[in-house]
Structure 1
């Protein structure tokens, strides 16, 4: 593109597409994902401040 902006015209570059697109080996992309749950502290189970009475059994007829 730089040559074109400078006003230079060159011959087109011809390439063969006979074998289709073959990506280069240097284009391998490696993705490393961290587990976001590893950073969170476990939730503490809070005990109620007042003790609860056990539920009284209900009589059914």
Structure 2
């Protein structure tokens, strides 16, 4: 099963978010944040089993400066 990981920089490392489950974690490095998110998603799915459809399409877009 594949799930989505959205990683963003933070002041003290990275924040990792999984939109399918709503879990969020952090880590000092990109690898640590992703590893922590993996663990959080596994624990979430043990408690709240889910089925997943097709992988979501994730992209970025620019907005004008205010």
The bucket for the TM-score relative to the shorter chain is: under 0.3
**Max Rg structure:** 1
* Larger fraction in strand: 2
Decide which structure has greater helix share.
Answer: 2
Higher relative contact order (CA 8 A, sep 6+): 2
Q: Provide the TM-score with structure 1 as the length reference.
A: 0.19
Q: TM-score, normalised by structure 2?
A: 0.18
